[in-house]
Amino acid sequence: MICPECHTDNIEGVDRCANCGQDLYSMGKGVTGKATRGPEFISERLSEIPAQSPVRVATGDPVALAVRLMQNSDTDCVLVMDGSHLAGIITPWDILHKVAGPNEDLNAVTCRQVMTADPVFLRDDDDIAVAINKMSIGGFRHIPLLQGGTPTAVVSIRDVFRHISPHLG
């Protein structure tokens, strides 16, 4: 469904535009007044999905620490914090494409140099449909969940699919 306000292509069934928050629910109503919506599970809140606690590093920490934390925590990303502010995210893609190589010293490169700055984030009361839409449009696999500006969890596309797969035919 195309948002009339910002022209963002949203997935069918979302109540609000993923980009600008415009009300899309009333647009989906037909002559009968009944909204055309997808399956109910797509409207569940992200808080329904078991998600990982965020693993954090500071902007000045070496990338070697981020790698070690990913290995030890069995996670595919770390959040980069500038004090209490979410500054970025580091995934294996960032490491492979920005610093990995036989001559690179991962202790000499900071997380700020490698991170994807200002990552897209959601709140735990956002819909699963919004998360799928953001991940699809943005081409990424992890979304930090924030409450009051503080990361509380990280939802991966794997977490989303594990949650919705029992509902799929």
CB-CB contact of 89 with 151 (8 Å): no
Does 151 share its domain with 77?
Answer: yes
The whole domain housing 23 covers 1-38
Does 52 share its domain with 133?
Answer: yes
CATH at 141: 3.10.580.10
For residue 41, give both structure tokens: 């599970």
Does 85 share its domain with 51?
Answer: yes
Does 87 share its domain with 112?
Answer: yes
Does 67 share its domain with 22?
Answer: no
Does 100 share its domain with 159?
Answer: yes
Does 53 share its domain with 32?
Answer: no
Angle (CA) 161 163 166, round 5°: 95
Does 62 share its domain with 114?
Answer: yes
pLDDT per residue rounded down to tens, the chain (169 residues): 788 777 788 887 777 888 877 778 766 543 333 444 456 778 889 988 988 899 999 999 999 999 999 999 989 999 999 999 999 999 999 999 998 877 789 999 999 999 999 999 999 889 999 999 999 999 999 999 998 889 999 999 999 999 888 878 6
Helix (H) or strand (E) segment spanning residue 163: helix 157-164
Q: What's the total number of domains in the chain?
A: 2
Does 97 share its domain with 20?
Answer: no
- Per DSSP, the chain holds a count of helices (H) and strands (E) of 5, 6
Helix extents (H) in 74-122: 92-98, 111-114
Q: Model's pTM, two decimal places?
A: 0.75
Does 162 share its domain with 82?
Answer: yes
Does 9 share its domain with 90?
Answer: no
Total number of residues shown for the chain: 169
SS3 110: strand
Does 28 share its domain with 81?
Answer: no
Distances in Å between the alpha carbon of 60 and those of 16, 41, 141, 151, 167?
Answer: 37, 41, 24, 19, 43
